[in-house]
Structure 1
Amino acid sequence: MGHGGNVIKELTADHREVDALFAQIETRAAADPERRRLADQLTMELVRHAVAEEEHLYPAVRRHVDGGDDLADKEIADHSQVERLLKDLEGCEPGDAEFDTMITRLKSTVTAHVRDEEDRLFPLLAEACPPEALDELGEKIRRAKETAPTRPHPAAPDTPPMNKLLAPGTGMVDRVRDMLTGRGKQG
């Protein structure tokens, strides 16, 4: 998850990756253990993406877009809902009815959030910021995703400055846990 380009291109590419992961999960048989690996990969991508947006995108929206505080607050609330769903999904296994229910709820919530960002927030940001600022934000987003947590932490701060202070350390702990457990490795 690091594609290049300005912030809008970077985050839109992330959105398409997440769409592809949902599609892969949905094409597998209910009890296929590969669904767990794909759900873990989906979780990792969504958490890194959300953390990077909360650290850099939403502060820029607050600063540059008219009504940006309300927009950013709504998007952060969406992230909180997604993170709670991801935490619940961690406790589910493929083949459990709850796994499919959680995937369906998660996909619906993420799809609505993505549509709102792509149809409303991104155009407003593109109108309010010069291309150089959008490029710089894209680079900040890519760097943030490299150190961001990979597991849901619903109680973690989601606004600056605390999120920027705590996320890299939490991310390091998550990546060590992932390495030790093999979580997120290709099947």
Structure 2
Amino acid sequence: MGHGGNVIQELTTDHREVEEIFGRIEALPPGSKDRKDLADQATIELVRHSVAEEAYLYPAVREHVSGGDALADKELADHAKAERIMKDLEGMQADDPRFDTTMAQLMSEIRSHLTDEENNLFPRLEAACPPDTLMDLGDKVRRAKKTAPTRPHPSAPDTPPANKLLAPGTGLVDRMRDALSGRGKQS
């Protein structure tokens, strides 16, 4: 993840990538080990994306968009719910009887969130921010995703400044764990 362009283009491309992973999961038979591998890959991408949004997108929404506090608070609540689902999913294998139901719940939650962002938040932010501000936010989001955690941490702070201070260290630990376990690597 790191595509270029302004913040809206960057995040919309992330949305398409996650949707593509979801489609691949849905195409596999229940119980397939590949479903778990793809669920881990989706979780990695979603956590990195969410951390970057929480660090830069939502503060910009609060600053620039009329009614931005309520809008950002709603998006943060969506993230918290999705993160709890991802944490549950993290402890399951594909043959766990709860895996398919939990994965379907995550996909539903994420799809609803993405639609809301693309149809409501992004147009409002684009109307309220100058193009150079949107480009700067895109750069910040790309940098944040490079050091962001890759595993769900539901109890971690989701607002600045604490999230910006803790995310890089947590991200480093997560990436080390992923490298040692092979998590997120496609076979």
User: Normalized against structure 2, the TM-score is what?
Assistant: 0.99
Once the two structures are aligned, what percentage of the paired residues are identical? 64
Letter of the 1:70 counterpart: A
Q: How many residues are matched?
A: 187
Residue in structure 1 matched with residue 78 of structure 2 by the alignment? 78
C-alpha offsets along residues 44-72 of structure 1, whole Å, 9 cap, x if unaligned?
A: 00000000000000000000000000000
Letter of the 1:185 counterpart: K
Residue in structure 2 matched with residue 18 of structure 1 by the alignment? 18
Structure 2 distance, partners of 1:83, 1:137, is 23
CA shift for structure 1 position 95: 2.3
Q: Within the alignment, does 1:41 sit opposite 2:51 as a pair? A: no
Moved over 4 A (4+): none
Greater mean deviation of Cα atoms: 31-40 or 165-174? 31-40
Q: Structure 1: where are the runs of 5+ without partners?
A: none
Residue in structure 1 matched with residue 115 of structure 2 by the alignment? 115
Letter of the 1:178 counterpart: D
Structure 1 distance, partners of 2:105, 2:29, is 18
Letter of the 1:14 counterpart: D
Letter of the 2:182 counterpart: G
User: What are the equivalent positions in structure 2 for 1:73-112 lying under 5 Å apart?
Assistant: 73-112=73-112
Letter of the 2:82 counterpart: V
User: Aligned with 1:117: secondary structure?
Assistant: helix
Letter of the 2:23 counterpart: A
Structure 1 distance, partners of 2:161, 2:143, is 17
Structure 2 distance, partners of 1:94, 1:156, is 27
Q: Structure 2: where are the runs of 5+ without partners?
A: none
C-alpha offsets along residues 138-162 of structure 1, whole Å, 9 cap, x if unaligned?
A: 0100000000000000000000000
Structure 2 distance, partners of 1:171, 1:10, is 20
Residue in structure 2 matched with residue 157 of structure 1 by the alignment? 157
Alpha-carbon RMSD across the aligned residues, in angstroms, is 0.6
Letter of the 1:148 counterpart: A
CA shift for structure 1 position 176: 0.4
